Structure 1
Amino acid sequence: MSTDFQQARVALGARLRELRAGLTGRELADRLGWQQSKVSKLETGRQTATASDLAAWAKATGHPAAAEELEARRKTLESRSRSWRRQLAAGHRPVQDALTVEYERSKNFRAWQSAMVVGMLQTPEYARAVFGSYANLHRSPRDIDEAVRARAQRQSMLYSGDRAFHVLMWEAVLYSAVCPLNVLAGQLDRLAGVLGLDTVKLGLIPFGTVLKLPPAGGFWLYDERLVIVEEWHAESWLDDVDSVALYLRVWRGLEDAAVYGAAAHRLIARARGRLK
């Protein structure tokens, strides 16, 4: 959880405490039918309030007009850190639909992945294996087929001609068996084919390359307005100028270490050859 996110959550808690003036925590909890510990956690920033929590709080404290303000604060907070637990409560398909909206709003995309193939370039079989793994990890609804279809439909943007995709991946991705080996073989064939697309610039960072920064988690840059950073517990959606500029600097450092074209094809072919 980022420092900015936690600070925003603490600030929201302080506002909730202001609205509770005149009521004890126990009295408010009784009105709401909650445990007193929930009131305490929300006020101290140790728990993230839901939209329904905030609406109930505003009404129970006698400040119903504050509900809109509280919800605006919550949306700002949620725009920065979106826990996988919440995002996947209804399955993977809604997450894919939310991402499609951002793709439709953007023209230039930059992606970095060090552990698996970037979603936009995944085969359906590879995507199915990845979605299945995360559904098991987060114990989320297994709407895997729907999620795969949504991702496959979004990949049509690769061929539209009005968008540009610049993808960087570490060579380790080519060997990462996050799926059955026959599926990985098909995925590598797919990557080899992607090298010929006019809309995609695919760069691979070979093992042994001297790097300006250590390979870390994956992230996407949507134009120069939004960064989505993938973490185990959540995604961070960052749209402030300083954060976007930071990730652009990270991106450029990685870009300097990548190889393209024939050199990238040789790396893919070498990895593919090991699967025969």
Structure 2
Amino acid sequence: MTTDYQQAREALGQRLRELRFSHPDGRLTGAQLSQRLGWSAAKVSKLENGRQTATADDLRAWAHATGQPEAFEELRSRLAGFESHIRSWRRQLASGHRAAQDAHNTAQAHATVLHAWESSWVVGILQTPDYARSIFTRFSELHRSPRDVEDAVRARIKRQELLYTGTRRYRIIMWEAVLRAMVCPPSVLASQLDRLAGVVGMDTVELGIVPFGASLKLPPGSGFWIYDERQVVTETWHSELWLEDADNVATYMRAWKTLEESAVYGADAHNVINAARRAL
């Protein structure tokens, strides 16, 4: 996935170099172009060699500086093509977490059957406001993003309205570590566990827990969502991946089904949740 992204970034860099070479008045050197743009020579080099991702503003300026403003739309399309798959947190969180939450709300609203695996924290659709607040606060600190925690919490909680429509089905499995991870104060985690216990048995949610003692055919790995077996959303510390390639989706679906083999449901899931609750 990262390789595909890097290849696309390098291809964009090659196209930028072509535009520099094909200036109507003659080929520009990198130094000449950097001077026209008011950029450092290093930035021009990084963009052309795929070591830095251009912004739309960078591409517009490049097209104009190379005397080919009509090339901007093509460049922007190339950028959108690979950024739609890998979305850096730095860019997504430039104005805070609310926008990213709205994007997820839209994606889930347009899906009918949603599969999720989570090994680190409670999935957003099942979080209490206080738990969500703790998560957003920690990630705001990590990414040094604008503090719009309350707006982000409201957006995430609004997503839970989707649980109460009869047309959508959530198939969610989580590792027991999620139930015990102290990513929030103990009192907040206790309320969150009570919330999960109440979800067991809902007709729109199939909640499974993979206990610590279960035999695992795969390591827990990172969490992910699968929307209607056509799109996968997963994340790393620096970016979020939105994948639509059929082979990638199939791989994640196999991973979900393999992890599900270790999950318990119903009363057994209740017992695992209650054991974590008592441990607090």
Q: TM-score, normalised by structure 2?
A: 0.97
Once the two structures are TM-superposed, the CA of residue 173 in structure 1 deviates from its matched residue by: 0.7
Alignment partner, residue 35 of structure 2? 30
Alignment partner, residue 250 of structure 1? 255
Alpha-carbon distance in structure 1 between the residues aligned to 2:12 and 2:215: 44
Once the two structures are TM-superposed, the CA of residue 196 in structure 1 deviates from its matched residue by: 2.3
> 160, 165, 169: which is aligned to 2:174?
169
Once the two structures are TM-superposed, the CA of residue 216 in structure 1 deviates from its matched residue by: 0.7
Once the two structures are TM-superposed, the CA of residue 120 in structure 1 deviates from its matched residue by: 0.5
Runs of 5+ in structure 1 lacking a partner?
A: none
Give a deviation string over 1:82-106, Cα, whole Å, max 9, x none: 1111111100001111111111211
Residue 270 (structure 1) aligned with residue 266 (structure 2): no
Residue 148 (structure 1) aligned with residue 153 (structure 2): yes
Give a deviation string over 1:4-33, Cα, whole Å, max 9, x none: 111110111011111110100011111111
Alignment partner, residue 137 of structure 1? 142
> 52, 56, 61: which is aligned to 1:56?
61
Alignment partner, residue 236 of structure 1? 241
AA aligned opposite 2:49? T
Alignment partner, residue 42 of structure 1? 47
Once the two structures are TM-superposed, the CA of residue 174 in structure 1 deviates from its matched residue by: 0.7
Alpha-carbon distance in structure 2 between the residues aligned to 1:250 and 1:65: 45
1:73-152 matches, cutoff 5 A: 73-152=78-157
Identity over aligned residues, as a percent? 61
Give a deviation string over 1:175-220, Cα, whole Å, max 9, x none: 0010000000000000000002100000000112111110011111
> Which of 99-108 and 146-155 deviates more?
99-108
Matched residue SS, 1:247:
helix
Give a deviation string over 1:22-57, Cα, whole Å, max 9, x none: 100011111111111100000000000001111111
Residue 10 (structure 1) aligned with residue 15 (structure 2): no
Once the two structures are TM-superposed, the CA of residue 256 in structure 1 deviates from its matched residue by: 1.1
Deviating 4+ runs (over 2 angstroms):
none
Give a deviation string over 1:104-142, Cα, whole Å, max 9, x none: 211111111101100110000000000000001111111
Matched residue SS, 1:228:
strand
Alpha-carbon distance in structure 2 between the residues aligned to 1:246 and 1:209: 22
Once the two structures are TM-superposed, the CA of residue 170 in structure 1 deviates from its matched residue by: 0.3
Alignment partner, residue 19 of structure 1? 19
Alpha-carbon distance in structure 2 between the residues aligned to 1:208 and 1:196: 23
Alignment partner, residue 69 of structure 1? 74
> 205, 208, 211: which is aligned to 1:203?
208
AA aligned opposite 2:15? R
Aligned length: 275
Runs of 5+ in structure 2 lacking a partner?
A: 22-26
